[in-house]
Amino acid sequence: MDIQKNTSSTLLDRIRAHRLTTTFTLLATLSIGILAGSILTRNVSGKEQSEVNSTDAKPLIIPSPVALSNGFSQIVKQVGPAVVNINTEELPKPQNSKRKRGGQRLPQPSDPNSDDDSQQSPGDMQDFFNRFFGGQGGDDGDGGAAGERRALGSGFIVDSRGYIITNNHVVDKADKIYVKLSTDPDGGPGDEGRPATVIGVDKDTDIAVIKIDTKEPLPTVKLGNSDGAQVGDWVLAIGSPFALSKTVTAGIISAKNRSIDEPSPNGVSQTQFQRFIQTDAAINPGNSGGPLVDMAGQVVGMNTAIYTQSMGSQGVGFAMPANIIANVYNMLIGPEHKVVRGSIGIQFQVAQSSAVNRVYGFASGVIVGVVTPNGGAAKAGIQAGDVIVSIDGRNIKDGDDLVNDISARHVGSTVKLGYLRDGKENSANVVIGDRAKTYADITGQPDDTSTPQETDAGEGKLGITVSAIPASLSAKVGIKGGVIVTNVRPGSFADEIGLGKGTIITAINRKPVTDEASYRAIVSTLKSKDDVVFVIQSATQKNLNSYVGGTLP
């Protein structure tokens, strides 16, 4: 029994030993194979590399900068520093304070803020911000309080003290305007730029003048004479399309004196003073307000509008001529900060058939369509159907000639009109009136060139509306005067300093507020950069006052 047991044990030991030997043998074989493969691969790779000869390859050399002959770069260096980026912000307004815009944005046959999308046509003339930048801030398109609206545009400095020309539709209805110079760094979301104020606007030509404060003289553009620009001349458009600042595109002047007639429902042309330089230089949303520059480095126009079916450039852009810009600018920086144009109080058909001229017996002139009651023409005896053929003895060509002459004359001056009635020559001395007031009489709308009258003086400056304190609350807090805040506009000055709805105001800047009239009188004297401090009466405890203040933007 013992012998058999030992035999079995020896056999198991041999098997175990044999397994270990086999395992080590296999591992050794694999290792040798891997090592041999690595050596062979290295030898092959080295052999291939040794057969490639690159000794004849020459290193690349960066050449010295070369100034090209077209001169575009020199013009950009000259004009570019004076081109600015403009950012605007429109704060949300309460529904009940919605105000209908009284002017025209060019060119725009349908209201881009209308809730009726059926008005929009892909082939319509679109102004730069028509549904492109208008709703970026979340605005719902009807002026409601859904969120703030932001818009982007361009402009150019014409006075080293910070005066900038841009389009009216860039700054129209903006509560805050910021300007970035070409030398300003591109900051983050909190770095909008330098605050700007509106000096004056002219809706008829879509021109606006804004100003930024500066301690150092700023670079300016050189204004050219747009009458000297010719079809076929090279031009450059500089601006911030799609918020891409310092962008330059090139093209030619493709047409001049281009009009885009947009008669309103009452028949009055909305673009009567807009005669554009047409260009095929690529102009896109954000270029609006930027300069159109000729090869002499002079600004001959301001990029204003595009004709598009895709909201992008299709090679047809429109720029307001520099000569018109200069005339409007000089009036906007004047004491009244508005443009005053002459009018004789008539309406006429812009274009007419040559058959009309033959039947009515005149080669050039204007047939009077409507005579405005109480206007200069009506008082001088001009009637509908009369044909105006001369001004102060000078024959006129057409309606544009008539408008340009009359609008440039001073209000209150007298002009001698020659006209035909039933084929007979007549003349009349007509007193020039204010076109803005005449236009208001025709359209039945208020003169929007005058300072708007707010129902609450604090709504625009402070962002609040107020009313008299209810008698029950007045008795509870023990005060006889003051006003109570009934609404606060989000994002306004009052909202930022913490004035809330239901706040009782008893004094502003140490002046007592006794009623709504005294409140409006005090607020009407406030201006930008003024410190404003309110005395607030507690609505729950008598004789408990607090003081809230801030600096008006």
Catalytic residues: 169, 206, 288
Contact 321, 259 (CB under 8 A): no
Contact 552, 529 (CB under 8 A): yes
Please give, one letter per residue, the 3-state secondary structure of 72-138.
HHHHHHHHHHHEEEEEEEECCCCHHHCCCCCCCCCCCCCCCCCCCHHHCCCCCEEECCCCCCCCCCC
Coil, strand or helix: which one is 330?
A: helix
Phi, psi angles (nearest 5°) of residue 522: -70, -45
| DSSP at 409 | S
- Spatial separation of the C-alpha atoms in residues 156 and 302, rounded to whole Å: 9
- 473 three-state secondary structure: helix
How far, in whole angstroms, is CA 396 from its chain's centroid?
37
Measured over the CA atoms of residue 235, residue 239, residue 244 and residue 246, the dihedral's sign is positive
Burial (CB < 10 A; 0-12, 13-18, 19+), residue 8, is: exposed
Q: Are 86 and 166 in contact (CB under 8 A)?
A: yes
Distance from C-alpha of 553 to C-alpha of 550, rounded to nearest angstrom: 9
The amino acid sitting at 414 is T
Buried b (16+ CB within 10 A) or exposed e, 314-334: eebbbbbbbbbbbebbebbee
Q: How would you classify the pairing of strands 504-508 and 464-468?
A: unpaired
Report the candidate in 367, 381, 241 with the shortest Cα–Cα distance to residue 313: 241
Check the CA dihedral 77-81-86-87 and report its sign.
Answer: positive
- Burial of residue 543, with CB atoms counted within 10 A of its CB: 0-12 exposed, 13-18 middle, 19 or more buried: exposed
First to last CA, the chain: 113
Rounded CA gap, 254 and 246, in Å? 24
Question: Which residue(s) pair with 153 in the sheet?
Answer: 86
The DSSP letter of residue 269 is B
**465, burial (CB in 10 Å: exposed 0-12, middle 13-18, buried 19+):** buried
Which residue in 240, 245, 119 sits closest to 170, CA to CA? 240
